[in-house]
Structure 1
């Protein structure tokens, strides 16, 4: 496959150091693409998980190696630590292996649109931090991710494409969708208050492109459940790309048009006929 060239790429929530990380798909994506800018929008290395239980697949080292190679080859790589790699926020303002560490960033698109880029954990609702609620939610998330791993191991043996079970679950849980909508509106409101056109973030593992009260909200998804990246072409058009055995664009936004696809449809995109390949 020939190299896909973009002006900018945004990825987040890779969670290297966990068995849920889809490092194989990500490694293939990184090796198949080239960009002027590469934003690592937080939770790239899951230091929290590593503190609980050491885990490191050889592919995780390969991903880090590919990021360093891109930085060495001239791609401007900007790393914005998230809540799972928060200790690395202490490196803000420094360059590590050619990768610039920032707490957030202002990205100016090829079409002149101005984007605030941050991991997005700052938009969690205040009551989300209650320990009992977090514990219950985290336990459920781990169970769903474990089930997702087992299901997709079986699907690979049957030569079936990747199926993101957690996205199906989120899309059918009212409280989860309510939280996602509150989060999206908070991020959009912050961008509007700063006089910006858009906000790009990750954090909630629910990718999408939506216009909210005149502000373009973009979430690049993750590489635990979605296997998605947000990309910008030379004209400033944004697309949310899913990358697994079946690769497809899930949503698009130009200066005057937003064409969203419900992210929940990703669960069935690889099974549907007529999916537009990359």
Structure 2
């Protein structure tokens, strides 16, 4: 029997690019059942598809899996727009059966309210200086290509996966400062909206921590980290890393869940669009 969660959040799959781990995310979604699946932006990489990207059968299989979850498990799917799939602006908002496509959302569960968005709203580069963002995207694409070459070499020698881009970001002081500032600004946004927490993606850095009383959650990505967020039926959130899953182990509804934060027990869960937009001054980096 599949392990069942109330909600699973994945983001930054970047379908249409060579770096996308489409097969892995499909395998992950086959292992778990959930009532709600939130696709939190950059699922399809429209930027790369306009340039050198290509659509593969494995990318189509991802959406086949989503449709299967809707049909077989009655999963409600929420696709939130990211900066790389900003082409969705042309159809927002859209609801067809159990599939909703929207910009952002409020999620209430077990007495806690979370604001969910991709997160590029606080990225002054992608929102204000698009040409610089495209230039950075080219550099990141090259870094991922180099990363594949390195890991192909390591795999042949029985060595574990190594993330070159995560190493670079960890060593570059400005990148570390940007990520810290990014997380702090999103926490401020959640507090301004009267929320207990915020769930985002965008920066490809899985995280779960408290920031000034706000529960900050980032689902990571499916290019390198291969991670997702999952909420159990008691309201506990956890980060799940693909490389730590034992796929040989039979699934069970009684699998042990290690909570990120204790929650009080309530019964209601609801989804709604935010009623107001609160603008905070953008930061520069």
Q: Give the TM-score category using the shorter length.
A: 0.7 to 0.9
**Are 2:114 and 1:115 equivalent residues in the alignment?**
yes
Contact 1:239 1:250 in 2 (8 A): yes
Q: Gapped runs of 5+ residues in structure 1?
A: 257-278
Match of 2:44 in 1: 45
**Structure 1 length normalisation: TM-score?**
0.83
> What does 1:260-275 correspond to in 2, within 5 Å?
none
Shift of 1:92: 2.3
Match of 1:193 in 2: 192
Match of 1:80 in 2: 80
> Secondary structure in 1 aligned to 2:171?
coil
CA 1:40/1:208 → structure 2, altered by over 3 Å: closer, same or farther?
same
> What does 1:68-147 correspond to in 2, within 5 Å?
68-73=67-72, 74-96=74-96, 98-109=98-109, 111-125=110-124, 129-130=128-129, 134=133, 137-147=136-146
CA 1:135/1:197 → structure 2, altered by over 3 Å: closer, same or farther?
same
Contact 2:231 2:237 in 1 (8 A): yes
Give the aligned length.
253
Give me the whole-angstrom Cα distance separating, in 2, the residues matched to 1:167 and 1:214: 27
- Output the aligned Cα RMSD: 2.4
Deviates more, 1:91-100 or 1:9-18: 91-100
**Are 2:150 and 1:151 equivalent residues in the alignment?**
yes
1:232-274 CA-partner distances (Å, limit 9, x unpaired) = 0111111111103x33999823338xxxxxxxxxxxxxxxxxx
Q: Gapped runs of 5+ residues in structure 2?
A: 247-256, 265-285
Contact 2:3 2:32 in 1 (8 A): yes
CA 1:240/1:35 → structure 2, altered by over 3 Å: closer, same or farther?
same
CA 1:164/1:4 → structure 2, altered by over 3 Å: closer, same or farther?
farther
Give me the whole-angstrom Cα distance separating, in 1, the residues matched to 2:173 and 2:211: 20
Give me the whole-angstrom Cα distance separating, in 2, the residues matched to 1:68 and 1:158: 39
User: Residue 263 of structure 2: which of 220, 238, 255 is its match?
Assistant: 255
**Structure 2 length normalisation: TM-score?**
0.81
Match of 1:203 in 2: 202
Match of 2:280 in 1: none
Give me the whole-angstrom Cα distance separating, in 2, the residues matched to 1:125 and 1:98: 33
The structure, 1 or 2, with the larger RCO (C-alpha pairs under 8 Å, 6+ apart) is 2
Shift of 1:96: 4.5
Give me the whole-angstrom Cα distance separating, in 2, the residues matched to 1:15 and 1:135: 15
